[in-house]
Structures are given as C-alpha cells and as structure tokens.
Amino acid sequence: MDNSDVVIIGGGLVGLAFACALKGSGLQVTLIESQSAPRASDEPSSDASQTASHRSKRDGAQLVSGVSPRVSAINGKSRRFLSQIGGWPDDAGCKADYTGMAVWDTQGTASINFSASEIQQDCLGTIVENAAIVATLYDSAMVLDNLKLMYETELESVDSTEAGYAIRLKDGQEIQSRLLVGADGGQSRVKQLAGLKSIDWSYHQTAVVTTVELDQPHDNIARQWFTASGPLALLPLNQPNYCSVVWSSTEPDQILALDAQAFCDQLTRITGKQTQAVLACDKRFSFPLTQRHAVQYTRDGLALIGDAAHTIHPLAGQGVNLGFADAQTLAQTLHQCRLEGQNPGDLKVLKRYENRRKPENMLMAAVMEGFKRLFGSDDPGVRWLRNSGLRLVNGARPLKTMAAKLAAGA
C-alpha cells in the first residue's frame, strides 16, 4: 500500500488549483482523476493570433466557433489566486475582460448597469474558457516534486482508519492518506462513500450553453436578461462579436429542439434591443441545475471543496469563485498546520477551513436562491417589487458600488 499525506479526488478546476496551492507545503500529495489528462491539442494556442476568428467557420446560422462551450466568470480574487499558483492562462485568445455589466427584466421596464470605472478597477472580471485554466494548472502541476498525478483512475472505496483514510482504486491500487479531499464535483463520489449528507433541491431549470456570433461588437459588457423561463446571459469572449450564452430555462427541451436559425431568432427577440441581431450559434449543450450544500464539509481525515461541498445557481457566475476560495483557504490552513507540526487530517485543523468558508458559501447560496425566486415569479406584485428594486439600486451609487465590488472580488 502506498502512502500520501494528502489524496485529492478530482482533477478539475478546483482540485488542480488546490494541488498547485500545496506547493512548498512539505506535504506529499496525490491527485486522482477518472478522466484523461489534459493534452496539448486541447489547450488554446499559445499564439495570440490564433483566436476564435481564425479557428471558426460559419454555414448560415450554424457556427463552429472553436471556443470551448464551458466558460467561467473569474473575479479579481480568483485571478490573483490563480496567478500565484501558476494557473492563469497566458493565451489572450481564451479570455476576455469585461468592463461593464447590464441586467434587464424582460417582464418589466427596469434595468441596472455596472461599470469597472465606478469602483476604480480595470475590469469587473474575466470570462475564461475552463479548459484553458485546467490546461495551465496541469502544466504547473506536472513540475511539482511533491505531487503525483494519476489520470484515468477511478475511485472504488474509502475506509476510515486510525491514520486517516484507506483509498482503494478500481485498478486494485491502495493508498493510505492522512487527509482525503473530495474535489470531485456535485455528484461527489467521496461524499457518497464517506456518508456525508447534503441538502439538495432542484431549481427546475436546465442550463443551455453555446457560443454565438452577434452582428455588433459586445463592447466587453456582460449582459443578462431575466426572462419568463429563466435568466439568459451573454458573456463577452475574446473576439469582439462572439459571446458565450448561458440560458437557465424551465423549457430546455424546446430550446434544444430549435434549429440554429430558429434559436438565433429566439435570442434576437429577447436581446435585440440591446445587442442587435444574433447571426449564428455553435452546438448547444445542457446540464440540469441543482443546489446542494453539504451539512458538514469536514470530518476526521476528510474535507470537501468546491462543488463537492456546494453548488449554486449560475446566474451570478460565482460558483467557481467560491470553489477557488475553498481551495485557497484549505491550502493556507494546511501550510500553517505543517509549520505547527500538526496532522493535516486532524479535525481541529480542518474545522478552521470549514468555519471560514461555510458561512460565506451559505450566504451566497441564500442570495442566489433569493434572486432566482424573485426573478422567477410572474406575480404582478413581485414584478413591481423587483422593477422598483432595480431602479432603486441603479440610482443609488453606494449600493451599486458595494454590489460591484462584491461581484468583482475587489
């Protein structure tokens, strides 16, 4: 049986970031991921000239953009963290700063606008292709002498022991670890095998994601419309006429059944007053939206981070930022425990992480649930309330400044 101080299950955005953040900790780390390792062919080109416009082609309303369909809105705090651990992509073609944000209620007349200049920042955040961050983190992880990477390897079982956790893999390998970290997503196998409970409920919405081409530049503004079926976001990409679409809808089957031209026409009907026409769309993907929150993030020898601990609605784009904050906080906690000569799997050590992160994550989950309910109601009184609220906040500079700073991680 092999031994490791820390075993991380999950090599996505948060798991890889956590592994890289343990550089210099003196802890021996093993990361296990069921999928294949990121490959050079999956990475964005290091040549900034090879942007989406050079990789894309269009046939009528059908677009092949060359852009990864999954992107994240990275705030300032997460960007600084990723830069510190070698996880911020250099490739200009895979990311775009957004300097403004605009929100409309399609069932009313109110709107709200935010600008980076109002909070003395260069931008409110950066839209980045998830695959680019993973590839960059992987490159940094590959050279760490305290990290062992195991790809295409599936978890079979975990058993609590006096020394931490005994981890059995489906290929028969066994690892004894002082600390087991679940970074394996919303359907966390670690959480299930360890018997950690969570509170789950469906939003009764499915996110439809794709890339679209507009007939006008996006001007580096992130735009969102609250429609009758759910929030629709157009997030600016590196190319001036390209946006990533995230449409959280109660009617996903109808949206997915539309051909490319009909889908573009539907988007134009919703967004046309603010973005002009949607010319073309790439292949569409979808995933159901569920809120989950683990009752406990930690127990002796075990911790959950990122989506394994909590998932929220994507309407404000904060999920991955919360996950990076988990990774950073747990890594800082383990660096400190190493200096103090403590066991990284000691529950007292792990509770420091949980006590710092759980209140913020629960607050954000509650805020997102409130927004979803507020903007998802057809009640005339509620519509009047949210339109009045948008006008109030838009006209109240201190409230706008506070909201913008929170969203930007400033």
Domain presence at residue 46: no
Structure-block tokens of residue 183 = 């970074």
Number of domains in the chain: 1
Domain presence at residue 50: no
State the DSSP code for 37.
Answer: P
Low-confidence residues in the chain, pLDDT < 50: 40-54
Query: Are 255 and 264 contacting, i.e. CB atoms less than 8 angstroms apart?
Result: no
Domain presence at residue 125: yes
Structure-block tokens of residue 276 = 């002009």
Domain presence at residue 45: no
Structure-block tokens of residue 35 = 């999928």
Domain presence at residue 281: yes
Structure-block tokens of residue 195 = 């018997």
Structure-block tokens of residue 38 = 């990121």
Q: Are strands 174-182 and 302-304 parallel, antiparallel or unpaired?
A: parallel
3-state class of 269 per DSSP? Answer: helix
Q: Which of 124, 144, 126, 125 is nearest to 17 (CA)?
A: 144
pLDDT of residue 318: 85
Domain presence at residue 48: no
Percentage of the chain lying above the pLDDT 70 cut: 86
3-state class of 121 per DSSP? Answer: coil
pLDDT of residue 388: 67
Q: 368: domain CATH number?
A: 3.50.50.60
pLDDT of residue 24: 96
Contacts of 380 (CB under 8 A, 6+ apart): none
| Domain residue limits at 178 | 2-40+55-408
Distance CA 306, CA 184 (A): 8
Query: Are 172 and 276 contacting, i.e. CB atoms less than 8 angstroms apart?
Result: no
Element (H, E) at 385: helix 380-395
Distance CA 93, CA 364 (A): 31
Compute φ and ψ for 123, nearest 5 degrees. Answer: -155, 165
Contacts of 386 (CB under 8 A, 6+ apart): 105, 108, 110, 374, 375
Distance CA 86, CA 281 (A): 33
Domain presence at residue 49: no
Domain presence at residue 218: yes
